[in-house]
Structure 1
Amino acid sequence: MTDTLPAAAWTQREDLAALVAALDPAHVGNCRWVGGAVRDTLLGLAVKDIDMATSLLPDEVVARLDAAGIRALPTGIAHGTITAVLPGGPAEVTTLRRDVTTDGRHATVAFSSDWQEDASRRDFTINALYADPRTLALTDFFGGRADLAARRVRFIGDPEARIREDYLRILRYFRFQARYGAMPADAAAEQACAALAPGLKGLSRERVGWELMRLLAHPDPAPTVSRMAELGVLAMVLPEADPAALPALITAETREHVAADPLRRLAALLPADPSLAESVAARLRLSGAQKKRLACAVVRETGDPRALAYRLGLIEASDRLLIAGESLAPLAGWTPPQFPLKGGAIVARGVSAGPAVARTLRKVEDQWIAEGFPDDARIAQLLDTALSLPG
């Protein structure tokens, strides 16, 4: 098993080398890469976020960055985090920490100079891997490399103790299991999550919603969501959910070459009840636009794909069609047209302005949609027909 981090594009960034030089000019080893960047590089995955741990106190981090001309933002200074703004993308620099008190939702921390103490407060072994920024030598206190190789998501230390520090770790566990884990899952982790699942009810709705949506954004979260239901975890945060429809949706997304969409997947989990969907959206603190889309997507009616897209929008129609397992081919490269007939044209034909005009417009538009959006000549014929009918 390798003792060094494989070279990756991000490890060779000049701006990150400048960051290291600013924080550790004397090469005393006071900073290391940590967390997701190290984990994903070991797995050969693309790295999105760069995190660095350091024994320097936050004020010293800021002073050294300022002296090097690197912009420093105190994005989480209460917990020791400074964001270094770099040309190639930001990097978060966090002082080593230890937990002083925890209440299941938040932690009070103190700064530390002990690398193993910092590692021991992290959630999973695969997130407690450090790499020297110059030599790329790895530091692994808790067997994270072996767990990565086995695709095993394992809590550091006693799983129940780690969860009691922050119950959100239950949802984080399943999110990481969906992304990195293999079956069978770690038995101790699952047992702890099941036993302590009621603690999820005390978390803020924003945190729960954020974790759920990140879980559903993974390539195939269906087995994990099903397991959450079996263990009684899903009922604590989404009691309305039925995981049975999720595999079919993911199959349809794959067949149609459509990117994973957590909101669409959430809709597949819910019953066909728009008002309930709106309630769920509010509970998870989704945006107004997300609430509207979710309420539309849970409706199980489809019909002609282009008519659906005209009335609802392309995204909304795609949601319904995919959840129903239907093809998106009729929508490929197609843009819903504008209905060209206006009320003025009907008034010019002798219809008094008011409800009669609106009724005539609806009649013509409905037939125009049913006929597949024919040209203006056909619209004129449809209008003649509508005006010739009584009422």
Structure 2
Amino acid sequence: MAELPEAEWTRRTDLAALIAALGTDDNGQGNARYVGGAVRDTLLGIPVKDVDLATPLLPEAVIERLTAAGIRSVPTGIEHGTVTAVLPEGPVEITTLRHDVSTDGRRATVAFATDWREDAARRDFTINALYADPATRKVFDWFGGLSDLGYRRVRFIGDARQRIREDHLRILRYFRFQARFGSQPADHESESACAELAATLKGLSRERIGMEFLNLLSLPDPAPTVMRMQELGVLDVILPHADAAALARLVAEEQRQGAAPDAIRHLAALLPPDPSLAEQVAARFRLSGAQKKRLVHAAERVSGPKNAHALAYHVGREETEDWLLLDGGDIAPLKDWEIPVFPLKGGAVVARGVTAGPEVARVLLMVEAHWVAEGFPDAARVQELLDEALGE
């Protein structure tokens, strides 16, 4: 019998109080089990970010029991059975067991259930359908998830095509989990189903596709998986003109220089240096204003030697790192370097007899250009540059 190893999160006192508040059923069995990522990641020995619980209790009963125990709750997704317990060491989502009544590839109509296996059967992958009893730490596995974890295999529960028809986004989720957990060769049946049904992604909202794809691209090395998506025809559905090989080159550069992986930079690598196309992709994926600005700026990159400090001064550190890494440039000059503030103000120019207005701006720009070109010298040199600009 498999058991959930003890981990830092399993020793949380606030979590123990929450489980106690949910109580037991008529047979003395606990009304809560750990489920999903917390169980999977603990079995893999990697840090756990979020803790989720499943319960046969109806949402109203969950809220009632938490209130009685003095635990604040928020009905974050009560129509789908989810209540969030607000705890000192972090929120915990509690979801009532469910089964699907109908699905159309975009959304599901669910009904509440009391059978643990039935709830597990509606999940996407075997490694996400593992439950653990908080009291005994016994792991419940109905679909071979433990074996798949051992082989680092990402596999749909049951009929892969049926799982995808229930929710088309599972195609992208499959590749994200494959990039994070999977080994090679990948599960043939899962890949085949994703390739066959790739066109169904067109029926999803662009925001959902963008969010899931960026989650994949945020991983340390998504390049092999993205390359496989391209080979299977999936990438062309969501991002035509993508160059998976360019992403591989960027990831290699990030790893060589010790740069943290970044989803927007990875997305920029997939695109040709075309600002108008970057704007279209930003709109298609519903990127935020800041994300769009950065993606477009990355698309404006030019090849060749660059002065890292000067570039960072003009466009920002993050944007400069993007340009350098995308072009194979060195980001070392930016390490532990603070972008300086131009020490000369308009008032100082006016005090030298220049009439306020366009002439002041012209002088400031001239001095600033020389200051940047000389590598940001001290204030004394700035005064000398001002003298030169004024012809003194």
Q: Same fold (TM over 0.5)?
A: yes
Task: Give, in angstroms, the shift of residue 350 of structure 1.
Answer: 4.2
Taking structure 2 as the reference length, the TM-score comes to 0.95
Is the partner of 1:45 in helix, strand or coil?
Answer: coil
Cα deviation code 1:187-207 (max 9, x no counterpart): 111111111111111111221
Q: 5+ unaligned residues in a row in structure 2: which ranges?
A: none
Aligned partners of 1:362 and 1:239: how far apart in 2?
A: 42
Q: Do the aligned partners of 2:24 and 2:31 also contact (CA within 8 Å) in 1?
A: no
- Cα RMSD (Å): 1.7
Cα deviation code 1:336-366 (max 9, x no counterpart): 1111223333344444433333223222211
Aligned partners of 1:200 and 1:169: how far apart in 2?
A: 9
Is the partner of 1:228 in helix, strand or coil?
Answer: helix
Cα deviation code 1:126-170 (max 9, x no counterpart): 000111110011111000000001011000011111101110000
1:45-56 to structure 2, matched below 5 A, reads: 45-56=46-57
Check if 1:339 corresponds to 2:370: no
Name the counterpart of 1:134. Answer: 135
Task: Give, in angstroms, the shift of residue 72 of structure 1.
Answer: 1.5
1:299-338 to structure 2, matched below 5 A, reads: 299-301=300-302, 303-338=306-341
Check if 1:244 corresponds to 2:245: yes
Name the counterpart of 1:125. Answer: 126
Q: 5+ unaligned residues in a row in structure 1: which ranges?
A: none
Task: Give, in angstroms, the shift of residue 45 of structure 1.
Answer: 0.7
Aligned partners of 2:31 and 2:344: how far apart in 1?
A: 71
The one-letter amino acid paired with 1:15 is D
Task: Give, in angstroms, the shift of residue 381 of structure 1.
Answer: 3.0
Aligned partners of 1:58 and 1:333: how far apart in 2?
A: 51
Taking structure 1 as the reference length, the TM-score comes to 0.95
Deviates more, 1:267-276 or 1:380-389: 380-389
**Matched pairs, number:** 388
Aligned partners of 1:359 and 1:70: how far apart in 2?
A: 63
| Identical residues among aligned pairs (%) | 65
Deviates more, 1:70-79 or 1:340-349: 340-349
Identify the match of residue 387 of structure 2 among 347, 365, 384. 384
Aligned partners of 1:112 and 1:161: how far apart in 2?
A: 21
Task: Give, in angstroms, the shift of residue 241 of structure 1.
Answer: 1.9
Task: Give, in angstroms, the shift of residue 23 of structure 1.
Answer: 1.1
The one-letter amino acid paired with 1:9 is E
The one-letter amino acid paired with 1:46 is P
Cα deviation code 1:9-39 (max 9, x no counterpart): 1112222111111112463233211100000
1:1-391 to structure 2, matched below 5 A, reads: 3-25=2-24, 27-301=28-302, 303-388=306-391
Is the partner of 2:197 in helix, strand or coil?
Answer: helix
Task: Give, in angstroms, the shift of residue 213 of structure 1.
Answer: 1.1
Aligned partners of 1:333 and 1:17: how far apart in 2?
A: 43
Task: Give, in angstroms, the shift of residue 304 of structure 1.
Answer: 0.3
